[in-house]
Amino acid sequence: MGSWTPTKLSALKGKQKITCVAAYDYAMARILDEVGIQLILVGDSLAMTVLGYKNTLPVSMEDMLRHTAAVVRGVTNALVVADMPFLSYQVSEEQALLNAGRFIKEAGAGAVKLEGGAIRAPLVRRLVENGIPVLGHIGLTPQSVGVIGGYKVQGRVRKEAAGLMADARALEKAGAFALIVECVPAAVGEGITRLVRIPTIGIGAGPSCDGQILVAHDMLGMYSDLTPRFARRYADLGRLMKQAFAEYRKEVETGKFPGPENVY
Ligand code: KIV
């Protein structure tokens, strides 16, 4: 298939489900690329999963640039999308364009993602007109956690669901190549997917979306002991890592490591 581009991914709508993962480093990117994951999002969830912040707000442009560049170095085929951090695109269109451009020019990303619906449409249009592909993100938008009052399912009432539909249409019209739809009832995920001609990538948005995205650390049991309802734990690496590190410690303490094969 060759390298994935925003245009090629958009063309999968209705033909093949799209598989996406949020990941943040070279080693993980290589593995994801090898198994054919089409899109790797260097999500601002980096703030929580890797940097240990309580939410996504503190992560900086420099943090995101460094991790995006690391992921780009690990891939051959996957499309790498850089998540624009809080306040890197909200202050002015000029600043947003410059920051989005840094992800493309300095880090080698293939596209950027930003949160928000119709309110972001003029900015999305401006970025696309200037050659920067944009992945939209609607529904639960974690950078607004303070305003929406926590990590809650969005679009449960009819008026909210209608607002999400309007958001999706506005971003599509502005030129977004796909849309992340986060934490909405499955029926709303389905409605948005039917409404727009660009792919919807769901996370807690039901099985009808054109693709799915999960955070690698949730899939692998590496962030918290609890798996969010929308995720599935495909491996318990957290437990395996604990076992391995504990065994190493024991072997060092008992003199079993290093063994003869580890010695020059
Ligand atoms: O930051 C992130 O990882 C994300 C995904 C959960 C969609 O925005």
pLDDT tens digit string along 2-14? 599 999 999 999 9
In angstroms, the Cα distances linking 215 to 82, 222, 254 are 14, 10, 38
Sign of CA dihedral 180, 128, 34, 215: negative
Per CATH, domain 6-233 is 1.10.10.10: no
Q: State phi, psi for 138 to the nearest 5 degrees.
A: -125, 175
Q: What is the pLDDT along the chain (264 residues), one digit of tens a residue?
A: 459 999 999 999 999 999 999 999 999 999 999 999 999 999 999 999 999 999 999 999 999 999 999 999 999 999 999 999 999 999 999 999 999 999 999 999 999 999 999 999 999 999 999 999 999 999 999 999 999 888 999 999 999 999 999 999 999 999 999 999 999 999 999 999 999 999 999 999 999 999 999 999 999 999 988 888 999 999 999 999 999 999 999 999 999 999 999 999
Neighbours of 217 (CB within 10 A): 22
CB-based contact 196:177 (threshold 8 Å): no
Give 211's strand partners.
18, 201
pLDDT at residue 225 in the model: 84
Q: Is the CB of 180 under 6 A from ligand 1?
A: yes
Tell me the C-alpha distance between 134 and 149, whole Å.
27
Burial class of residue 55 in the structure, from the number of CB atoms within 10 Å of its CB (0-12 exposed, 13-18 middle, 19+ buried): middle
Distance 91 CA to ligand 1 centre (A): 21
Which residue owns the Cα nearest ligand 1 atom 5?
43
Tell me the C-alpha distance between 64 and 70, whole Å.
10
Distance 43 CA to ligand 1 centre (A): 5
Closest ligand 1 atom number to CA of residue 56: 1
Closest ligand 1 atom number to CA of residue 22: 3
pLDDT at residue 2 in the model: 58
Residue 252, amino acid: V
Kindly provide the b/e burial profile for residues 67-89, where b requires at least 16 CB atoms within 10 angstroms of the residue's own CB.
Answer: bbbbbbebbeebbbbbbbbbebb
Tell me the C-alpha distance between 65 and 44, whole Å.
11
Tell me the C-alpha distance between 177 and 8, whole Å.
10
Give 81's strand partners.
41, 111
pLDDT at residue 1 in the model: 46
Q: Cis bond leading into 258, ω under 30°?
A: yes
Query: Which residues lie closer than 8 Å to 247 by C-beta, 6 or more apart?
Result: none
> In this structure, what DSSP letter does residue 199 have?
P
